[in-house]
Structure 1
Amino acid sequence: MSTPQPARTPAARSTEPDDAALDWFVRCAGGLLGSADEAAFQSWLAADAAHAAAFARHRDNWCLLDALPAEGVRMLKQNLADDKAAAARAAPRQRAWWRDGSSWVPQGALAAVALMVSCGGGYLAWEHGQQQPVYTQRFATERGQQLDVVLPEGSRLRLDTFSQADVTMYLDRREVRLPQGQAAFQVQGDPARPFDVLAGPLRITVVGTRFAVRYTPGVPGRAGVHVAVEEGHVRVARAERSAAGDAAVELVAGQQITSDMAGLLGTVSAVPAAGIAPWRESRVSFDDTPLDQALAEFGRYGPVPLTVREPAVAALRVTGTFDPRRLDNFSRLLPQVLPVRLRERGGEVEIVSAGH
């Protein structure tokens, strides 16, 4: 007679799909599935409705972690790192850090926290999830065009002519890359998700403020990065610190700063009366700007039927505010404020010295 075997309880049976679901979830969240693994995963899901239910439960618990306050997330990540290091040293120990955080961890998320500590890949899955964008979009304008954009989290972005902005949102930060052009920002405050603008060699970091950034490497005399603040404050620093280290500059409302092409920051100065971004009202402002650079600025908004060949004329300085859509007004005013005249020849208008 064979020896009777103890019957498996329903509770014991229920742990099998749960354990397997945990293993599949960690591998999926960590991006660890190959093509063969993906086929096996789909077969496992289809084999039993309990499998899909268990997997969905782990996924939903994971999503609850998004509701944790910033301090809770910080504590969680630190303690997970500690647990991972302790496991690597093969020094088993019991931790009850989640009990210390019970005042801020939602009940559903508590299960997810315990899940993450119990599985070897949990910390990697967390880090992987934090690095995955939740929103990406590219915005661009043609010459003479401007664009207003409301981002998903409520911030506003306005692009000037011939500009491009690449927006990426993560769970713990917001990032805009400005490969070229000008942009004005009105950032929705969120201390848990800093807002970074990457323009050329600089990183501009804010929480909530209104400011403008210009990066036009192809425009003579304006190849560096310019940052001007209208409200709040921003932090300006090199995107990549040099070996010697670079001090960041904190700008407050009414201040501006310009860097060179390498990211070396100049002196903080006051925002001019025209404001941080006069282009929002279809104006360009010049303050003792060489004439050839002024013409290049007009060229960002459309064709410029004016040329200047004489170096002495190109170096003459222009001050004033103009509508870039009405270059005819600028042309008519130019001989009245500078010692020049307009010479038309072969359908081309050249700015020459008044004595020629």
Structure 2
Amino acid sequence: MKTPAPPTPAAAPREDEDARELEPFVRSQDAVELQAALWATRRHEGLDPTQEAAFERWLAEDPRHGEAYEELERSLDHVRDLPDADVQSLKAGLDLHESMAGTAVGPPTDRLHPAGPSPRLASPGRRAWMLDLTRLFPTVRTAAGVAALVGGGWLGWDQGSRQPTYARTFASERGQILGIDLPDGSALQLDTATQIQVSMYRQRREVRLIEGQVMFSVQGDAAAPFDVLAGSTRVTVIGTRFSVRHTRAGLDAGKTVVAVEEGRVRVGGVHRAASPEASGDGAVLTAGQGVTVRGDGRLGAIVSLPADGVGAWRAQRVSFSDTPLAEALAEFERYAHTGLVIRDPSVGALRVGGSFDLRQVGLFAQALPHMLPVRLAPQGAVTVIAAAK
């Protein structure tokens, strides 16, 4: 699919400024007519089969959609028939505000509008330019419609850049490790009972970790940073290998744990526009480092990790270090039903340590009486871990 070239990173501040300037304009437009204009832009540039199907669904959602789209197409026929030189003059008007800030802004229009451009106050911006289009082409119902085609697809790009080019939800089952290959070349491994939402945009990539833990191998792309959102935490990278854990049960329940195997990442608050080079709040982790983020977004101390300490679950192993027994048991339960229960809080508070095979919960249970003052008491379908008599 042919799409307008995305702006370079250096142009991002201008795009942000333009987006803010256009916001009142966009809000003033009829929502259906604006959607029709955006679809016109995308169809003019070319749609793949998936996008064409989405367009057909949009048409089928409401009779007004088809009516708005057909009216827009009819009203813009004469715009498409303009000589190339006139179209280029109109397009040039989009960028005049860069060099004419504080002066009247608009494309050269004398040949297009016999009466000449209408007098107006100085207004250096794309919004003023688009409003002028309604004067130039009074038969077109919305300035957005004209800008969509004459403006080189800028409005379609601005709105389209906020829509994902790829969006999928993935979930692994209990006890399953699921491998995912993304279209950008990145590879993900989902641990047991993990759910993620993947969204890829023209200038950024985003994975929202709803539950579980994931090992990321990110394909580097300086023009499209990769963000992982987990609870109150944002992890931003360019290209690296790292794991993120965010679970409601088991180890570090309610917290987010980030561990870097290769490269570096920046960890900070989810609402901050993070970048690996940014300064300010947050922390930069390099290979062999990890950090735990509390539920309120506060970062703990950066810790050093053993060589095999990142994503040990990929080898079906788990390590406990001074871990409450109840928390250790909850971690095993994430992978499979253990048949073990703790009914005495004082027993659940006992501390355990060591490395265990997640597939051998029976061996873990058998080792407990040798490590702690507990006993195993079968009661019907479960085995109670109780205090030793």
Q: State the TM-score, normalizing by the size of structure 1.
A: 0.70
Q: Distance in 1 between matches of 2:222 and 2:240?
A: 12
1:28 to 33, 40, 58: 40
Q: Is 2:263 the partner of 1:232?
A: yes
Aligned counterpart, 2:248 = 217
1:150 to 181, 184, 189: 181
2:160 to 129, 141, 152: 129
Identity of aligned residues (%): 44
Contact 2:38-2:148 at 8 Å conserved across structures: no
Q: Distance in 1 between matches of 2:366 and 2:148?
A: 73
Q: Distance in 1 between matches of 2:122 and 2:149?
A: 15
Q: CA deviation at 1:130?
A: 1.4
Letter in 1 for 2:188: L
Aligned counterpart, 2:340 = 306
Contact 1:223-1:261 at 8 Å conserved across structures: yes
Segments of structure 2 that go 5 or more residues without pairing to the other structure are: 1-35, 44-63, 107-119, 125-145, 273-278
Letter in 2 for 1:164: Q
Contact 1:162-1:181 at 8 Å conserved across structures: yes
Q: Secondary structure at the residue paired with 1:275?
A: coil
Q: Secondary structure at the residue paired with 2:343?
A: coil
Q: Is 2:203 the partner of 1:191?
A: no
Q: Secondary structure at the residue paired with 1:144?
A: coil
Aligned counterpart, 1:167 = 198
Letter in 1 for 2:40: C
Aligned counterpart, 1:7 = none
Q: Secondary structure at the residue paired with 2:161?
A: helix
Q: Is 2:264 the partner of 1:264?
A: no
Q: Distance in 2 between matches of 1:173 and 1:153?
A: 11
Q: Distance in 1 between matches of 2:95 and 2:174?
A: 52
Q: Is 2:364 the partner of 1:352?
A: no
Q: Secondary structure at the residue paired with 1:300?
A: helix
Q: 1:150 to 1:34 in 2, by over 3 A?
A: same
Q: Distance in 2 between matches of 1:306 and 1:272?
A: 30
Aligned counterpart, 2:367 = 333
Q: CA deviation at 1:118?
A: 10
Q: CA deviation at 1:304?
A: 1.7
Q: CA deviation at 1:322?
A: 1.2
Q: 1:120 to 1:79 in 2, by over 3 A?
A: closer
Contact 1:167-1:177 at 8 Å conserved across structures: yes
Letter in 2 for 1:222: A
Q: State the TM-score, normalizing by the size of structure 2.
A: 0.65
Q: CA deviation at 1:83?
A: 7.2
Q: CA deviation at 1:191?
A: 0.4
Q: 1:81 to 1:248 in 2, by over 3 A?
A: farther
Q: 1:327 to 1:127 in 2, by over 3 A?
A: same
Q: Distance in 2 between matches of 1:43 and 1:119?
A: 15
Contact 1:26-1:121 at 8 Å conserved across structures: no
Q: CA deviation at 1:311?
A: 2.1
Q: CA deviation at 1:338?
A: 1.4
Contact 1:84-1:123 at 8 Å conserved across structures: no
More divergent stretch after superposition (159-168 vs 127-136) = 127-136
Aligned counterpart, 2:323 = 289
Contact 1:144-1:162 at 8 Å conserved across structures: yes
Q: Distance in 2 between matches of 1:28 and 1:117?
A: 7
Q: 1:273 to 1:292 in 2, by over 3 A?
A: farther
Aligned counterpart, 2:25 = none
1:178 to 199, 203, 209: 209
Q: CA deviation at 1:182?
A: 0.3
Q: Distance in 2 between matches of 1:230 and 1:152?
A: 22
Q: CA deviation at 1:347?
A: 3.3
Segments of structure 1 that go 5 or more residues without pairing to the other structure are: 1-23, 63-75, 94-114
Q: Distance in 2 between matches of 1:80 and 1:226?
A: 48
Q: 1:290 to 1:79 in 2, by over 3 A?
A: farther
Q: CA deviation at 1:197?
A: 0.3
Q: 1:231 to 1:51 in 2, by over 3 A?
A: same
1:343 to 364, 368, 377: 377
Q: Distance in 2 between matches of 1:213 and 1:346?
A: 38
Aligned counterpart, 1:139 = 170
Letter in 1 for 2:248: P
Q: 1:257 to 1:40 in 2, by over 3 A?
A: same
State how many pairs are aligned: 286
Q: CA deviation at 1:187?
A: 0.3
Q: Distance in 2 between matches of 1:250 and 1:173?
A: 19
Q: Secondary structure at the residue paired with 1:131?
A: coil
Q: 1:296 to 1:252 in 2, by over 3 A?
A: same
Aligned counterpart, 1:20 = none
Rg comparison, structure with higher value: 1
Q: Distance in 1 between matches of 2:229 and 2:100?
A: 33
Contact 2:227-2:234 at 8 Å conserved across structures: yes
Q: CA deviation at 1:123?
A: 4.2
Cα RMSD (Å): 3.8
Q: Distance in 2 between matches of 1:175 and 1:135?
A: 10
Q: 1:85 to 1:25 in 2, by over 3 A?
A: farther
Q: CA deviation at 1:253?
A: 0.4
Letter in 2 for 1:185: F
Render the CA deviation track for 1:181-237: whole Å, top value 9, x for unaligned: 000000001100100000000110000000000000344742110000000000001
Letter in 2 for 1:29: T
